[in-house]
Structure 1
Amino acid sequence: MVPSIIENIFSKIFNFASKFASGKYWHLKVAVLCSVISLCFHFPNFTHGEKWMRDGINKQIEEPFVKQNYPPDSHLAKRIFRLTMPVVGNLLNLNITGLLVLQSILGFLFFIIVSKLVFSITSDNVLSLIVCVGFTVIYIGKSFLIDSGCFDGTAFFLLSLTMFFRKPLLIFTCIFLACFTDERAII
């Protein structure tokens, strides 16, 4: 009795997933669904975070290549080589809040890339949907929304691009930028 109930539930879920992840623009539908799920569990607050951290990042955005005089053991001193987002902020005239909004947009694009990447490996729309939904409930999926200036989500986005691209120059560029977004990207 219980196994048949569970089997019916999973059957309905997979039927829905099969219908949902079909059509010409199914990647966009998957990205919208995953973004909505992420927003339900991790709604962003683009103005939160420690004032000293926000001020330090804004200062780095204004002058990304100028050495700042932070105490050597401080968190801001450890961010000196995380240059990708401050340079982007400087080029696009964005402050920390604008960069966090940009990172949220990259989260939407991340789900499109992951769905296409999984589909290119498996040729299965439903599995692509399931993998993307799985990402929404772990740190990678929420890092685009809850970040207060570490820009982990941007590093994950750039790393997903390295797996998606096939041209060595694009792969190198994405890895290079990811490493200067968060040094853990090199691992």
Structure 2
Amino acid sequence: MIPKVSSIFRRWNELISQWSQHQLGVMLICLALFTGFSLLYFPKVIQKRLDNSWTSNEKYMIDFINRKIEHPLVAMVGKDSREHFAKRELRITPYLIGKAFHLNAIRLFYLQVLLLPLFLFLFFNLIRKLAGGDAPLAFWATASILFTYVGHSFVYDTLFYDSYAYLFLLIACYYYDRIWSVLALILAFFVDERSLFPALNLPLLFLFQSGIPSGKWSDVIHDFLWKNRATHYLLISLTLFVIIRYYLYTSFQLETPVGKHAGVQLGFAFLHGYKLPNALFSALKWDIILPIIAFAYLVKQRIWASVWLYFGTYLASLIAATAVDDVTRSLTFCFPIVFVCFQIIHHLKEQESARIFLSLIFLANFLTPTYTLLMHLERITPLSWIY
């Protein structure tokens, strides 16, 4: 790095370290990130309220969501219908939140926007925990993820509420070795079923907390299944999810339809052709390098059990994402795959190099445009609420 830039970078990291000595300082850092981000990307729903530009489909969605908030367990779409919109019948977590706090569809989105600082706060603390207490590394990682679709979803996604799932997945990762993760996972699963696949990362976080596993395949599998609390909590979560889903189906006829008419079919998103790479890339943008580094390290160390689980988690997320039209939002669910990389960095004692690397990823994410694909490819541009 140029000496002057290197000096500024070092001083900035020292400042972050000083502010991060107390949780209040971390909170202020995250609020500053949120404020700067919000000035660039004004919440879409507020802009719509100002110019009253709701489409007829959005008005239909608002009416549907408001009725679901009022009666979360009542099926609003005919049970014989296989239409795409019927998928939202069983995604009841946002409706229950709305009912508990007396929020309508629009206010539920406002709450989503205000939850972004909490997401950043938890993300910062989790990265610092995984990276051995390195606050500057946590800062650059948090700023970096903010400018992927993960951050954009909180202020851009109107009436989908996927960001609630991202938040609950993050809470589950934060408490990966505690029973609290069970509740967070179930809440995430009932925002969207696509949360199931990234949840498979939790056992890896537990497995790597005391060092990179080595030894025979059978020994790693044994530890993974029998000594790994995160595995047990994940299995409990999946079991409860299946039981609750079955109960909701038999008692209230709530289900998630699949098939061509429901807009859920393997390879569905490939119909978009050349638009697909931009949409897929926007989910994590340059942060996708982090799981690639982790995967390469696991292969180099021949930790094959972890290699296949790690690779399988992302592959399952990718297959699920390309089975629906909203492929950007779908693949964003897999953001927990970045966490393993920070544990590896900690064990390799490469913090200083990692800080520089993460700051460069942040800069690349900041300068690279973000797209979302829903029927058509749409670019999310900064300051669009001004002009």
TM-score, normalized by the shorter chain, greater than 0.5: yes
- The question of whether the paired residues in 2 share the 8 Å contact of 1:21 and 1:29 is answered with no
Aligned pairs for 1:8-87 within 5 A: 8-23=4-19, 24=22, 25-46=24-45, 48=48, 50-70=58-78, 72-87=81-96
Secondary structure at the aligned position of 2:179 is classed as: helix
- Large movers: runs of 4+ above 4 Å: none
Give the aligned partner of residue 116 of structure 2.
107
Cα RMSD of the aligned pairs, angstroms, is 1.9
Give the aligned partner of residue 103 of structure 2.
94
Residues 95-134 of structure 1 show CA distances to partners (whole Å, capped at 9, x for unaligned) of 0111111111221101000111011111111011101100
- The question of whether the paired residues in 2 share the 8 Å contact of 1:21 and 1:129 is answered with no
CA distance in 2, matches of 1:22, 1:142: 29
Which ranges of structure 1 fall in alignment gaps of 5 or more residues? none
Secondary structure at the aligned position of 2:122 is classed as: helix
Query: What amino acid is aligned across from residue 120 of structure 2 in structure 1?
Result: F
CA distance in 1, matches of 2:83, 2:9: 49
Give the total of aligned pairs: 183
Which ranges of structure 2 fall in alignment gaps of 5 or more residues? 49-53, 198-387
Identify the match of residue 150 of structure 1 among 134, 155, 160: 160
Secondary structure at the aligned position of 2:137 is classed as: helix
TM-score normalised to the size of structure 1? 0.89
Query: What amino acid is aligned across from residue 176 of structure 1 in structure 2?
Result: I
Aligned pairs for 1:97-176 within 5 A: 97-122=106-131, 123-166=133-176, 168-176=178-186
Give the aligned partner of residue 301 of structure 2.
none
Q: CA deviation at 1:168?
A: 4.0
- Cα 1:59–1:26 change in 2 (3 A) is same
Query: What amino acid is aligned across from residue 119 of structure 2 in structure 1?
Result: F
- The question of whether the paired residues in 1 share the 8 Å contact of 2:26 and 2:121 is answered with yes
CA distance in 2, matches of 1:151, 1:115: 22
Residues 12-40 of structure 1 show CA distances to partners (whole Å, capped at 9, x for unaligned) of 13422431342322311221122123213
Q: CA deviation at 1:74?
A: 3.2
Q: CA deviation at 1:56?
A: 1.2
- The question of whether the paired residues in 1 share the 8 Å contact of 2:64 and 2:76 is answered with no
Between the aligned residues of both structures, percent identity stands at 25
